[in-house]
Structure 1
Amino acid sequence: MQYTATPRFLEQAPRYLFFTGKGGVGKTSIACASAITLAQAGRTVLLVSTDPASNVGQVFGIEIGNRITTIPAVSRLAALEIDPEAAAREYRERLVGPVRGVLPDEVVRGIEESLSGACTTEIAAFDEFTALLTDSAITRDYDHILFDTAPTGHTIRLLQLPGAWSGFLEAGQGDASCLGPLAGLDKQRSQYKAAVDALADAARTRLVLVARAQQASLREVARTHDELAAIGLTRQHLVVNGILPAAEAASDTLAAALHQREQDALAAMPEPLRTLPRDELALKPFNLVGLDALRGLFIDQTVPDEGDPGNHEANARSLAALVDDIAADGHGLVMLMGKGGVGKTTLAAAVAVELASRGLPVHLTTSDPAAHLTETLAGSVSGLEVSRIDPHAETERYRQHVLATKGKDLDQQGRALLEEDLRSPCTEEIAVFQAFSRIIREAGRKFVIMDTAPTGHTLLLLDATGAYHREIARQMGDKGMHFTTPMMQLQDPKQTKVLLVTLAETTPVLEAAALQSDLRRAGIEPWAWVINNSVSAARPSSPLLRRRAANELPEIEAVATEHARRHAVVPLLQEEPIGAGRLRALAGA
């Protein structure tokens, strides 16, 4: 397919465009470049970010924040960064404020606790931008509104559920998992309905699924396609971003291997994606920050060779050195966290295989819905137990338990409402948390290596862990009894080591730094950072890859000097680290 300066997804563009996909695939860059393209064509454009770690302002070189801000260098373009945490605070206050001083303090605290989780934050952010999907004073001046990070199927399913829980719970008939987040929906249900209708209207909305030419990325975006199509969002377009041009493979064995790997992934693309209209964008040698870079995103360019980018070392250790330190403890919980697409699954598998090869008992598990552990290991390993926290199986187990306990004395109407609530996605978060709690208890006698879901899902788990800890502390504190909660285990550096995984690129490093701040607020100190798939550490000879290697150096330096207490750099490899042998080579030498 020919690279083009006019992507197909911008032809006859509808009013609303949503850009979604795994972390690190280039959603923000493509959304920003699209906004510039439409504005330069004479259209008035509003670019909206709903990403908690939004870097739209950094891309344009100005401060944006939670207000509509004109982009001075681009006529007819404005931007807005929705702050999910600020939205959640306002949402909570809208619900709690009217009953403060009216209901007993204990009841008010209970309401506030029910609104403390990530479900509330997600719904509150949706609450903020639903106004942008309806005709209003805010939106009437814009021909196009572009969203960087589309609403998930999780959020839309929440908003489609009936709003009958409040009376049900006030009557003391049940224990719905989404009461807090959903308690305020009824007043704005008509606005939410209009927003969901707009999303499902192909004449008004186009969903742009962004992926890389990698098997895991394409599988993930296929899953997103299916989830959104199942709730009526069918007007979808695929963008495969960052494809290494064939010309770069001519005289560089690394570039040749990467190019072939990408072509193989495209040839094996999941069937649901093959029927979608598609654009392929070439990998760029530069960081996509600033107007000149964004204007060049949709244009193919020849890259001059600027020579060796220099030394990538910045007091970095090898992954093998980190594994030596981990092994010295004999047991414990090791959690790998970070954006989607940074290679957590591969690194978790590499650490687990190396520990098992030393004769240590290891349980490798994942809480990632995509769950690629089996493909990465490509076979069994002696001494290594492998499991997956299956959200569907855990949710069904939890549903049956609740129906057998909370629901056993309900009448037909009450049981029907309880069953409806248990179909909400919040139920899945609770069920996954319970499975997570069971597994991490094993770390007292063996190594538990956890490949976590992408950052947002991980924070949901931590929210549930924190809420559980606070509840137990309230119940047990007055009795003076000794207790240990999962949160206490995560906070204890003798029991838990958190490895933050990133790429040597601006957005993954920023998001890893934001995650580190969130963890520290929860009393969890990350043990190490791992910079994965480093081009500079691979010493390429391709002109394009040399330029990218040079661009990595400031990011590696920032990790070494500003963010990490200890860090390792893992080079980009010619062969994918699949199978026990290659995984051991990655972590053991």
Structure 2
Amino acid sequence: MQFLENATRNLFFTGKGGVGKTSLACATALALAERGKRVLLVSTDPASNIDEVLETDLTGTPRPVNGVDNLHALNIDPEKAAEEYRERVVGPYRGQLPDAIVRSMEEQLSGACTVEIAAFDAFAGLLGDPRAAEGYDHLVFDTAPTGHTLRLLSLPSAWSGYIETNTSGTSCLGPLEGLSAQKDVYAGAVEALAEADRTTLVLVSRPEGAALDEAARTSEELRDLGVKNQHLVVNGVFRATDADDPVARALEARGQRALEAMPAGLAELPRSERPLRAHAPMGLDGLRILLGEQAPDIPEQPAEDAPEGESFEQLIDSLERDGRGAVMTLGKGGVGKTTLAARIAVALASRGHSVHLTTTDPAAHVAAAVGGELPTGLTVGRVDPKAETERYREHVMATAGADMDEEGRKLLEEDLRSPCTEEIAVFQAFARTVARAEDEIVVLDTAPTGHTILLLDAAQAYHRELGRQSQEVAPEVEQLLPRLRDPHYTHMLICTLPEATPVHEAAALQADLRRAEIEPAAWIVNQSLTPLAVTDPVLRARQAQEARWLREIVSEHHSRLIIEPWSEDYS
């Protein structure tokens, strides 16, 4: 690939979830290391699986990758980073202030925003501190799904601006000394990102319209942030070798249509393509095949028994029984959550129900997923972070700020300028949307796994933060967790693909939900080749591999399985 020939020191891989950016980041790091370069591979993705891809147990400090000279890797765990960040901020005050005040500081630092800034703190230290990664020729970053990445890369400006303008000495992140000490490092991170001779942004996409549109938006927004040295990799480009296989012909044609309709700004970028391989790139040999020019021979795949699962119509039958309630599609980005949410909403509305379809995912476009004219009874919306934040600010100033003096109002306005305020506002909107399901069916296309879990786990932290800013907690926020835990009110549908990494990440998501006392209603395996008759060698190989993951779901994860066949009409 072109960007490998004259690789910059910093290489960022980003894109819509599920497009293969982790595999490509790992393969790139391996290729550079095998050319004699000293490489550090870093994951800042809450849903990362580089341990599995590299077959090496990783931590938050660099470790040698098994079987590869010159290659080290680390995985920034957001929760662990948050714990270390809290201790760094609060630790100096232990024994100096009353225990009650220290406990209050710890509570302030228990929300999702602290997790976000702590993960960035670890990331910025590598990028912005010249001493942090001494001894390496290249830093390769496997970054988070698009929405999270944009927030991550915009934080340097947001936080440095907040530090400069906040005069009260406190924030939703506690004493600002903990942030101010990092200002120079954050500034160094911004500078490194903007220098084309130091940093390359590798946008990864699939040859699919939604993924390419998302890559184009990411490209434009990051260019506005100063990251202008960009390269596009289209991963999983399929070329049919069996002209008599209608599925193969349709898959190839869909990809070509998407590439031909690529947004203009994206089409102007330098571009590389990687073919769809017969096997997912796991292990070092799999990564070498991913970047190799010659595809290996594909042995004949023996047929394997796979569970049949339920149909989409059977799923809709079960969801319409009460005529109300919340239906949530959850899973890693790229598994088709948005499309599935839209199909469920349309199907329910077509059966005469009142349905509202919406999303809490900043990268999702549910209206486009519905397409065409809306059926009677279906309304479509989305949580707009900017609008919700402004509404929340105005409400707090009109209520909590109403009886304050001028100095008090200034301090409150400063507090409401913190990046945490957007998180609180979006969370409240999410709770209001779930509350609508008392009277109708609400279908929510939720955010990718990491963001979803932060959202669900943050309820108690948000109660504290809302009380701190506005002295009130809305009833819908108070009732959110009970509603999510009620299987008659909320139907959690875990969406995945019939592949190793999506299934394992879905299992981790389910474990998190169960720890929060939320039991999923079913698993949906999307875009499966198993129900189809295929003859193309690559597709037959991929179909044969699916049986293993379908059996694992039923035997180890969940007894209720819905299998959705691949279709050129859905992604």
Fold conserved (TM > 0.5)? yes
What displacement does 1:190 show? 1.2
Shift, 1:417, TM fit: 6.8
Q: Is the 8 A contact 2:315 2:562 kept in 1?
A: yes
Distance in 1 (CA, whole Å) between partners of 2:419 and 2:246 is: 46
Q: 1:85-114: CA deviations, max 9, x gaps?
A: 111111111112222344344433332222
Tell me the residue number matched to 2:521. Answer: 527
TM-score by length of 1: 0.88
Alignment match, 1:162: 162
Cα distance between partner residues in 2 of 1:404 and 1:258: 55
Alignment check: 8 A CA contact 2:108 2:464 kept: no
Residues 165-222 of structure 1 show CA distances to partners (whole Å, capped at 9, x for unaligned) of 764165xxxxx6x444966211121122112211221111111111111111111122
Question: What is the aligned-residue RMSD (CA, Å)?
Answer: 2.8
Deviations 1:237-294 (A, max 9, x none): 111110102x436221111111111111111112221221111111111120111111
Aligned in 2, Cα 1:134/1:380: closer, same or farther, shift over 3 Å? Answer: closer
Choose 147-156 or 193-202, whichever is displaced more.
147-156
- Provide Cα deviations, 1:128-150, integer angstroms capped at 9, x if missing partner: 23232245555221111111116
Q: 1:212-231, aligned counterparts within 5 Å? A: 212-231=206-225
5+ unaligned residues in a row in structure 2: which ranges? 469-474
SS in 2 for 1:141: coil
Secondary structure of 1:168's aligned partner: coil
- 1:240 aligned partner, one-letter code: V
CA drift at 1:48? 1.3
The answer on 1:90 being equivalent to 2:87 is no
Match of 2:110 in 1: 116
The alignment partner of 1:531 has SS state of strand
Residue 331 of structure 1 and its aligned partner are, at CA, apart by 1.7
CA separation of 1:411 and 1:191: change in aligned 2, threshold 3 A: farther
User: Mapping of 1:121-520 within 5 angstroms?
Assistant: 121-134=115-128, 138-149=132-143, 152-160=149-157, 161-164=161-164, 167-168=167-168, 178-180=172-174, 184-245=178-239, 247-248=240-241, 250-302=243-295, 306-307=299-300, 309-311=302-304, 313-314=306-307, 316-378=309-371, 379-406=373-400, 422-468=416-462, 485-520=479-514
3-state secondary structure, aligned to 1:381: coil
Secondary structure of the residue aligned to 2:530 is helix
Q: Quote the Cα distance in structure 2 between the aligned partners of 1:58 and 1:482.
A: 40
Secondary structure at the residue paired with 2:84? helix
Q: Could you tell me which of 20, 26, 44 is aligned with 1:26?
A: 20
Decide whether the 8 Å contact of 1:115 with 1:181 is kept in 2: no
* TM-superposed deviation, 1:317: 1.8
Secondary structure of residue in 2 paired with 1:536 = coil
The CA deviation string for residues 323-350 of structure 1, in whole angstroms up to 9 with x for no partner, is: 2222223321111111111111111122
Same amino acid, percent of matched pairs:
53
Which residue type is aligned with residue 168 of structure 2? F
Asked whether the 8 Å contact 1:469–1:487 carries over to 2, the reply is: no
1:435-462 deviation digits (Å, cap 9, x = unpaired)? 1121211212221111112223323422
Displacement of 1:471 = 7.8
C-alpha distance in structure 2 between counterparts of 1:78 and 1:372, whole Å: 38
After superposition, the Cα gap between the structure-2 partners of 1:497 and 1:166, relative to the gap in structure 1 and judged at 3 Å, is same
Q: CA deviation at 1:386?
A: 1.9
Relative to 1, partners in 2 of residues 1:473 and 1:435: Cα closer, same or farther, differing over 3 Å? closer
Change (3 A) 1:168 1:382: same
Q: 2: CA distance between counterparts of 1:338 and 1:72?
A: 30
Q: TM-score, length-normalised on structure 2?
A: 0.90
Q: 1:400 to 1:23 in 2, by over 3 A?
A: same
Question: What is the CA deviation profile of residues 459-498 of structure 1, one whole-angstrom value per residue up to 9, with x for unaligned ones?
Answer: 3422443434578999xxxxxx999521111122221111
Moved more, 539-548 or 295-304: 295-304
**1:173 aligned partner:** none
Contact 1:339 1:512 in 2 (8 A): yes
From 16, 26, 30, the equivalent of 2:10 is 16
Q: Deviations over 1:380-406 (max 9, x none)?
A: 111222222222222222233334445
Q: Distance in 1 between matches of 2:362 and 2:300?
A: 42
Describe the SS at the equivalent of 1:498: strand
Specify the alignment match of 1:580 in structure 2.
Answer: none
What secondary structure does 1:388 align onto?
Answer: coil
Q: Classify the secondary structure of the residue corresponding to 2:525.
A: strand
Aligned length: 558
- The amino acid that maps onto 1:498 is M
Sort the Cα spacing of 1:15 and 1:487 in 2 relative to 1 into closer, same or farther, 3 A: same
Distance 1:388 1:238 in 2: 29
| Alpha-carbon contact 1:356-1:383 (below 8 Å) kept | yes
Listed as ranges, the gaps of 5+ residues in structure 1 are 1-6, 171-175, 475-480, 578-589
Which amino acid in the other structure matches residue 326 of structure 2?
Answer: L
Q: Distance in 2 between matches of 1:261 and 1:554?
A: 27
**1:482/1:279 CA distance change after superposition, 3 Å:** closer
Return the alpha-carbon distance in structure 2 between the equivalents of residues 128 and 181 of structure 1.
Answer: 19
Cα deviation, residue 506, structure 1: 2.0
Alignment CA distance shift 1:120-1:529 (3 Å)? same
- Contact 1:53–1:510 under 8 Å retained in 2: no
What does residue 54 of structure 1 align with? 48
